[in-house]
Structures are given as C-alpha cells and as structure tokens.
Structure 1
Amino acid sequence: MRRTTEHLKISRWGNEMRYEILGTLRIVDEGRVVTIGARKVETLLTALLASVNETVPSGRLISELWGNKAPRRASAALHVYISQLRKTLKKSRCDSNPIVTTPQGYMLTLAGDEFDAREFQQLVELGRRRAREGRHGEAADVLGRALALWRGPALLDLCDGPIIYGYAARLNEVRLECIELLVESSIELERHREVIGRLYSLVTDHPLREAFYRYLMIALYRSDRRAEALAVYQKARDILRSELGLEPCQSLRDVHQAVLTDTALLVGGARL
C-alpha cells in the first residue's frame, strides 16, 4: 500500500533512543536495553515522560518522588537524581541532552527519539479516523498494531504519585477505547465469531463497561446464539443494579430489544 502523510513514522532510527512505558519502564538505545535500577530515577524519568516536551515544576517532581514525606534537602536530592538521569540518557554521538533545565523545573525533550505511548496514541487516533470513514479493514490493522505495543499494564510498579497515576489511568482508558474500536471494526468486517471469546474475557475484566456487553450481544446474535445474547444482557443488568443501582444504558437496552424482536438496528456501527 502506498505510504502517505497519514501513515505514521514507525521506522527505527539507528541513532535514536526509544522510551517504552506500555509495560515496565525501559529504554532502548540502538537495540540495547538501558537499565536504570534506582527507583527514584525511574520515577523521575516516568514523570517527565508523562509531560514530555513540557516543563514539570520542581515542586511537583518532589511530590512525585516523596509524597508528603520529602526530606529537608529535597531540592538538592532532586538535582542529584536529575544529574544521574542525564548521565543515563546522554548520547555520546552528540553534545545535547534530552533533560532541559528551565526556570520553573525540568523538561524531557524527545526531538527525534521514539516514545511508545505517543506512538500508541497516534495509532489509535488514526484508527479512530479510519473507523469513522468506514474503512474498517484499515482501522482494524492500525488498532491491532496499537495494541501490540503493550507489553503489560502501563507503569504498574511506579503509580504511587499523582503525575504517573493520572497518566497511567489516561493511557489505560485509551487502551480500552482502542479495544472497543477494534471490536466494532471486526464486527463490521463480519468477524463476529472471532471476537466472542475475547469479549467474554473483557466483560469479566471490566464488568461495568457496558460497551463490551453490547458488542458481545451483537456478536452472539450474529452467530445465531440468540439465547446467549439475552443471557449476557441479564448478567449486565444484574451487575449494574447490584454495583451501581442503575439500569443498563439506552444503547444496551436497544440491542436487547433488537435481539428480542429480530429488529434491524444500527448500534456502534454494527447492524444486527
């Protein structure tokens, strides 16, 4: 397929670093995995990555590293950790360093370096556009590539502070949206049988996310498993009532009614 400006630059540049946080934190430099070891320095790098190309005030970094138990010489200790991080990230092939000191604090600049979270978000945005355009084959391909970047839960062992916790929560929310978009495109491509198993796992892992119940009902119905589709609705209704005291949302009720009456209905781009 001819490459256009819409396609992302996912190529690996020989003299660039790659930061990866979709899983445990790691840095890849010319194919070599760079380890940090010190937890405070790992936390510092992750907090800077969460606000990449933007200044993070020193006070916020101190709170991220120590919470409300900052030592008396916290600013000096932060400076030491910044120096250690600079040494880790320094590239012998150039004089510049990605850690920049500003009057307010510190900033990590990516320049040409790669960052898996940014790549993931760009792929999701491209997949979202393709799905809206009805180009579901391309959407499914792009969204699948986005999900393949994940090696495990994002920053699971570094989520003590507000910067990293909030950033990881946003990434995980985008990941769930990516999964929803991929399932929707798969159903549009008549791959409904292929997504049933995954959707059963998703409703177990995310019992309050109604979109997964909706897509599971559609996939089951289109696979001639109408009774199971109705059972899924009842399960969703029971969980929502017991956990939140709520009835299912309108779109989920619409799918339930369509399954009951064999009525054609557009739901999330999928026709029953």
Structure 2
Amino acid sequence: MLFHVLGPIEVHAAGEPLAVAGKPATVLATLLLHRNAWVSLDELADQVWPHGRAPLSAVANLRTYVWRLRRGLPEPGRLDRLGDLYRLQARPDEVDAGRAAEILGDAARVADPAVGLSMVDEALGWWRGRPYAGLPFAVEADQLNELRLDLRELRAALLPALGRPAEAVTELRTVLTVAPLREAAWAGLVRTLAAAGRRAEALLAYRRAAELLGAELGVEPGPELAAARRLVLAGV
C-alpha cells in the first residue's frame, strides 16, 4: 500500500486508487504526518477546524471521518483506536514523500549516473501538483516543494556525465525561475556552463547570482558559489 501526499491525497493498493477529499482528507493527512504515533481527537480537531472553530459535533464528526477512512482503506487494520487516540501505521517507504526523500540520498551515492538519474526521475514523477493539495498544511507542502527542487538539482548534477549538459542547464534555470535565491543551484549552473565551454555565460550567471543575493539578502556569494567562479576563471 502506498499513501500519496505529493498532490491530492490518495491511497494506492491493488485495484483503483482511493481518493480522499474534504475533512476526512485532513484527518488522513494529519495521521500520516504523525504516522505510527497516537494522535488525539483534540489534535485532529485543531487541524480540521483551525483557530478554535470546532463545532459542538466535532467529536462525533471526527469519529465518523475515521470510520469512513477505515472502511475505505485497503488494509483497515492500519488505523488503530485507543479511546480517543488514533494511530495510522505506515513505513516511510509507504508514503510517496518518504520514498522521495530516501531516493534523494540514495541516488546521490550511486556510482552509475544513469541509475541515479532513473531513480531521481521516478521520484519526480510522483508529484501530481502541490503537496497536500487543498488541505491546511502549507508549511509541510513548502518543505516538500523544497525536496522537489533538491531532486531537480541532483538531476542536473547527473546529466553532464551522461553527455547532456544542455539539459542540465535548462533544469537549473527552471529551478532558479521558481527559487531565484537557491545559491546551490546558481553554483551548479556556473559549473555546468563552464564545463560545457560556455565561460562567458558562466561568469554572467555568477554576476547575476551575486547581484540577487546582495539585493535580496544583503550577503556576498557563499563558499560554493565563489568556488564555482574560481573554477571558471582558472579555465577548469
């Protein structure tokens, strides 16, 4: 069984995926964020009805939502109850976000760049939109979008070894369009352009990065970006 949070909440097992929407989806997402730990009805109510807006029927409603989830899950025994506490049992690799985080580390250590690239592409393919789409988990969604950018940076780092530097440049420029202050992506872009013999473009990218960092954050380029510039100047 696989829980999908990288987009609208879904549960995949044999057969058709189970889509979960509305308040039951908020309950499921909360249990997934605290998987394998007991979560109280009060904690669930705070997520489903934030800012103290829970109705008088909140407890009965929540129990109904959990009952619906248990009925819909391919393995209902995963969802336990102990009084007013609930627990969803799931391994990290049974949540698409957990798998993606594992792949980020594993793919970076693979000796064969083609294998690493295949792993990264598989992980990126799990995104179906904004994580926790339509649910009140903005901080968690932003963190997972950062993970997606980390995967795309790793993808760009693997492509040149496979004879695809132009694609790596495009990938990094796409990352920087979304997150223009990601210094590691700027450093990767400078290095990739230089390695492809595009020295003038590499220096231009460095200057653009330095200007942005100075204007937006009031800081000088960090060690990684400065080292990338030195490589360009040294003709490496």
Instruction: Tell me the matched-pair count.
Output: 234
Measure the CA separation in 1 of the matches of 2:213 and 2:94: 41
Which amino acid letter does the alignment assign opposite residue 129 of structure 1? R
Aligned counterpart for 1:107 among listed residues 87, 95, 109: 87
Of all paired residues, the percent bearing the same amino acid is 31
Q: 1:220 aligned to 2:193?
A: yes
Q: 1:35 aligned to 2:19?
A: yes
Q: CA deviation at 1:228?
A: 1.1
SS at match of 2:61: helix
- Check conservation: 1:99, 1:108, Cα contact below 8 A: yes
Q: Residues 16-60 of structure 1, C-alpha deviation per residue, up to 9 Å, x if partnerless? A: x432221222233423132334x1011111111222222223222
**Bigger share in helix:** 2
Measure the CA separation in 1 of the matches of 2:6 and 2:19: 16
Q: Residues 65-84 of structure 1, C-alpha deviation per residue, up to 9 Å, x if partnerless? A: 11112223422322222122
Correspondence for 1:13: none
- Check conservation: 1:55, 1:104, Cα contact below 8 A: no
Aligned counterpart for 1:44 among listed residues 18, 27, 30: 27
Which amino acid letter does the alignment assign opposite residue 186 of structure 1? L
Which amino acid letter does the alignment assign opposite residue 144 of structure 1? D
- Check conservation: 1:52, 1:109, Cα contact below 8 A: yes
Measure the CA separation in 1 of the matches of 2:138 and 2:83: 26
RMSD: 2.3
SS at match of 1:32: coil
Within 5 A, what are the aligned runs for 1:101-250?
A: 101-103=81-83, 105-110=85-90, 114-130=94-110, 134-158=111-135, 160=136, 164-250=137-223
Q: CA deviation at 1:210?
A: 0.8
- Check conservation: 1:217, 1:255, Cα contact below 8 A: yes
Measure the CA separation in 2 of the matches of 1:65 and 1:126: 35
TM-score by length of 2: 0.87
Q: Residues 184-218 of structure 1, C-alpha deviation per residue, up to 9 Å, x if partnerless? A: 22234443222111211211111010111111111
Correspondence for 1:22: 6
Q: 1:254 aligned to 2:227?
A: yes
Correspondence for 1:267: none
- Structure 1: segments with no counterpart, 5+ residues: 1-16, 265-272
SS at match of 2:36: coil
SS at match of 1:242: helix
- Check conservation: 1:230, 1:259, Cα contact below 8 A: yes
Q: 1:55 aligned to 2:32?
A: no
